Amino acid sequence: MQGDTLVVHVTGAVKKPGIIETQTGARVFEVLEQAGGALPDADLAAINLAAAVEDGQQIRIPRAGEAPPDPMAPPAAGEPGAGVGGTVNLNTASAEELEALPRVGPVLAARIIEWRAGHGAFSRPEDLDAVPGIGPAMLEALLPLVSV
């Protein structure tokens, strides 16, 4: 990826969900076009189509009647990747589940999984500080949202 491109993950009511590479400065509506457009049941009024896109961001297009996603909310208990109290279990979560965490994009999710594969299970959530790219501030923000 060059310095003038961003990588985002588009999910929900779009024709071609997945990873999209776009230009720096792109807006949500432009990424939506790159994902083939919205499905007929998409609720485009529930999201800000003019919002600027950030590298590693997940953009979820909700369906009509579906609540817009809260980017700060961890998966609910019983959902895949959910751990104790609805947190994301670092030892079982998929890349997509890790990317649902705030400020965790595809690259950082891959680093977490790579660390887990190379070092074994996380013993405690604080072990995240050993993953390249996770500094003290990010660790502090993630600790309430993850478990082992």
Q: What is the pLDDT of residues 47-67, one digit of tens each?
A: 889 888 888 788 888 888 876
- The sheet carrying 5-12 orders its strands as 18-23, 5-12, 58-61
Answer whether residue 77 is part of any domain: no
- What mean pLDDT comes out for the span 104-131? 91
Answer whether residue 50 is part of any domain: yes
Specify the 3-state DSSP secondary structure of 31.
helix
Specify the 3-state DSSP secondary structure of 2.
coil
CATH number at residue 104: 1.10.150.320
pLDDT at position 9 is 86
Distance between CA atoms of 62 and 46, rounded to whole angstroms?
Answer: 7
Answer whether residue 67 is part of any domain: no
* Total of domains in the chain: 2
Answer whether residue 74 is part of any domain: no
Answer whether residue 120 is part of any domain: yes
Q: Indicate whether this model's pTM tops 0.85.
A: no
